[in-house]
Each structure stands twice: as structure tokens, then as C-alpha cells.
């Protein structure tokens, strides 16, 4: 299971009409790449995905979900940031922080709060540069295949952030800014009973998301990057590519077209094909 954390401090680009060259480029950038485009690859992670607002997140959620994507909680006050740390402490979850979590506060910009929230030490890169990250050599996805060499967008943005002193922080570098290969833009480190991951840009490609999910202990229901939705009694898979795939369910379900219930289904599907399975009707009334 995956949780997608959202805090709407980035207004829609329509909010700036009639524009006059004001905040449109930045609002549209974050909404398009961090939310709209990122959601497309999140849906293709191959497992059911839940979407929650940041203010709905509870301790029970942190214990339930193995991978938590905090895509735009850029604005937090001190109490909100501290509560997030308490929610994640000892949860065992992997939390992925995008770009500038907690950097904007009611009192101004705070790199200290961003560092306390994520557990990383950062350097601010004030010069404008492309929001493009190049993976570290050897990074692979859950099937042992290499991640895409580069991901992100070419648009130049400032400020950007780089993780400082990864060795001293016991952090593992996962990627660097393409124009500044000496600066870490993507890293992982252990925190107090949870794992913190920082990534400086978006969108993360599905190969990277599936790798992070596997390493976090998420069960990938499909062996392919398919769209999967589910309830307690039904599941639906939409194939995103042509080929065979193994579809693994947490409990036996029967194909909607007929057949015995099973936890594993081998499916030979074409792009856009849909597979549905249901929990046997006789078990719906079982107490």
C-alpha cells in the first residue's frame, strides 16, 4: 500500500488570471510536475494507492503504509512539523520528501525546520538550474533492471537543495543534479525507526517508485507497472503494456469472467486490457 501526502499550498495556475507574468510559471510548474504528472506514475506502481491530505495523516496510517510520498508539504508551522516527526517515529515506514518540505513557515523561510523534519543536512543552491537528476551508478529496480539514467524536467528553478555530507549522516546517495554532479539531489538515510528519503525534483518515474516501494516492504501486486485498484471484495487491473504478468493478491479472488478463486493469477494481457476479480460470494456473509 502507498500513501500520497498532499498539502495544498501551491495554488492552481488559474488562480493568477489574468496572469500579467506573475506566479503562473511556478504555480504551474509544481502543480503540473509534482502533482498531475507524478500522479500518473504513482497510479502505475502496480499496487493499490491511497490518497490522503497531510492533515488527515495519523499514527495508524504511518503504521499501516510502508511507503509514504510527501509531495508538496512545503508550508508547515513548527507544531505541524514536530507532529509529523512523532507520527513517523518507530513506524518502520519509508517517507519520501519532495523538494522543500517544511521550508516555508509562517515566519519566513527555514532551512533548519526542513532539516529537522527530514533528518538531512542541506545546502541551498541559489543559482538557477535544471530540475533534472541523474541516478547513481548501479541503482536498480525491483526486477534488477537499471533505473532511468535521468529523470525530472529541464526547466531551470531556484533555489534548489543538495544533501550535505552524506557519509557523516549515514546517508546513501541515490542521484545527483545533472549540472552539478558534485551535489546530491536524491538520498536515503535511517531515522528513528523509519527511513527518510529526500528527492529534489519530480516526477519520479515508475521504475524508481517500484524500487522504493519494494525496498520499503510494499507488496507489488503486479509484476508489471499496471494500474491496480481494490476494495475488500473486488480488484481491478488495467494493463499498461503487452506481455504476461503475475498478479498476486492478499487473499483468494475469482476472475469476474469465471474460474476458481486464487491468490495468484498469471495474465497474458495487451495494452489497455482489464482484469477483474471478486471475493467468492459465499464468504461475504462469513462472520
| pLDDT tens digits along 218-250 | 999 999 999 999 999 999 999 999 999 999 999
| 234, 279 contact by CB (below 8 A) | yes
Domain with CATH 3.40.50.880 in the chain: 2-216
pLDDT at residue 54 in the model: 80
| 182, 123 contact by CB (below 8 A) | no
Instruction: State how far Cα 47 lies from the chain centre.
Output: 13
pLDDT at residue 63 in the model: 93
By DSSP bridging, strand 234-238 and strand 227-230 are antiparallel
| CATH class, range 227-283 | mainly beta
Per-residue DSSP letters for 57-96? --HHHHHH-SEEEE----B--HHHHHHHHHHHTTS--EEE
pLDDT in tens, 115-166: 999 999 999 998 899 999 998 876 666 555 567 788 998 888 889 999 998 7
Domain with CATH 2.60.40 in the chain: 227-283
By DSSP bridging, strand 67-70 and strand 2-6 are parallel
Mean pLDDT, all residues of the chain: 86
pLDDT of residue 24 exceeding 50, the answer is: no
pLDDT in tens, 173-199: 999 999 999 999 999 999 999 999 999
Band the pLDDT of 286: cuts 50, 70, 90. Answer: very low
Give the residue from 8, 23, 72, 67 showing the smallest Cα distance to 42.
Answer: 67
One of 3.40.50.880, 3.40.50.720, 1.10.760.10, 3.40.50.1110 is the CATH number of 2-216, namely 3.40.50.880
pLDDT of residue 25 exceeding 70, the answer is: no
pLDDT at residue 33 in the model: 81
What is the rounded distance in angstroms from the CA atom of residue 53 to the CA atom of residue 217?
Answer: 23
Beta-bridged to residue 254, according to DSSP, are 278
What is the rounded distance in angstroms from the CA atom of residue 104 to the CA atom of residue 90?
Answer: 26
Beta-bridged to residue 230, according to DSSP, are 235
Amino acid at each position: 500500500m502507498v500513501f500520497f501526502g498532499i498539502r495544498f499550498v501551491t495554488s492552481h495556475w488559474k488562480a493568477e488570471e489574468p496572469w500579467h507574468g506573475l506566479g503562473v510559471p511556478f504555480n504551474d510548474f509544481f502543480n503540473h510536475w509534482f502533482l498531475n504528472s507524478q500522479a500518473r506514475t504513482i497510479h502505475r506502481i502496480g499496487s493499490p494507492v491511497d490518497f490522503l491530505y497531510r492533515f488527515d495523516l495519523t499514527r495508524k496510517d504511518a503504521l499501516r503504509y510502508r511507503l509514504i510520498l510527501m509531495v508538496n508539504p512545503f508550508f508547515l508551522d513548527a507544531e505541524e512539523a514536530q507532529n509529523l516527526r512523532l507520527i513517523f517515529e518507530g513506524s518502520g515506514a519509508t517517507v519520501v520528501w519532495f523538494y522543500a518540505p517544511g521550508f516555508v513557515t509562517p515566519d519566513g523561510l527555514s532551512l533548519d525546520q526542513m532539516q529537522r523534519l527530514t533528518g538531512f543536512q542541506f545546502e541551498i543552491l541559489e543559482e538557477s538550474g535544471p530540475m533534472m537528476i541523474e541516478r547513481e551508478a548501479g541503482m536498480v529496480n525491483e526486477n534488477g533492471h537499471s533505473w532511468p539514467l535521468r529523470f525530472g524536467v529541464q526547466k531551470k528553478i531556484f533555489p534548489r537543495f543538495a544533501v550535505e555530507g552524506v557519509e557523516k549522516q549515514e546517508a546513501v546517495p541515490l542521484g545527483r543534479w545533472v549540472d552539478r554532479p558534485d551535489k546530491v539531489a536524491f538520498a536515503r538515510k535511517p531515522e528513528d525507526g523509519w527511513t527518510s528519503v529526500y528527492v529534489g525534483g519530480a516526477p519520479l518515474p515508475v521504475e524508481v517508485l517500484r524500487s522504493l516501494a519494494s525496498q520499503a516492504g510494499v507488496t507489488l501486486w503486479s509484476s508489471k507497472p499496471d494500474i491496480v485498484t481494490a476494495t475488500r471484495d473486488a480488484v481491478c487491473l488495467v494493463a499498461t503494456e503487452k506481455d504476461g504478468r503475475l498478479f498476486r493478491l492478499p487473499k483468494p479472488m475469482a476472475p469476474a469472467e469465471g474460474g476458481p478463486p486464487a491468490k495468484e493469477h498469471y495474465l497474458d494481457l495487451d495494452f489497455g486490457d482489464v482484469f477483474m476479480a471478486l471475493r467468492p460470494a459465499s464468504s461475504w456473509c462469513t462472520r
